[in-house]
Structure 1
């Protein structure tokens, strides 16, 4: 198929520098100006698209890489999961759910009143 869209290159618009390893997940804040990136270096970095010189925040995980990141629909919370044991809930203060299980992902309900944590464990 030949159309003009196939002939257009996708140039890099901006780069963010700060992670030390491979990134696995990212999410956009509902306001469209903030985004977060989760990385193998055991950090999640929060960026403001209006100033990409430094991250707004660098959030450290306890044991492993960030495997899932989600913002609540009202933008008041950000949830980050590690592959094992920890789910971090960020707001104006840091909350953490600590349990001994393999974590496969996280999702928030449409009303932001529910938090669903995917668990991978053959015994449960």
Structure 2
């Protein structure tokens, strides 16, 4: 059984993360599903991952990450699939974040994307 299912009662009780950063502060984590193909945004997504489309002079993903970082998020799990290599390359500029990439090889919906990312995660996570 996955750890996150075993620990549901612990999470429901509001138990805080045991993970800490180098200063002893609790690690705050976010999960961002990005694996979809963005077919409703064609032709713009034919060669560019949907989260990297520019809005207001910067990528949509940057609009998501910047407020999370300002709020204290220190670790991000990104569910990637379609054009995931572009996301990997883009995240190189976020050296202040611990970034984990979770592959969703078959696009079977948002629920599966979240499940894949949380299957080994027992700590509280903000899903964006």
TM-score range, shorter chain: under 0.3
Tell me the TM-score normalised to structure 2 length. 0.25
Tell me the TM-score normalised to structure 1 length. 0.25
Structure with the higher helix share, 1 or 2: 2
Q: Relative contact order (alpha carbons < 8 A, sep ≥ 6): 1 or 2 greater?
A: 2
Structure with the higher strand share, 1 or 2: 1
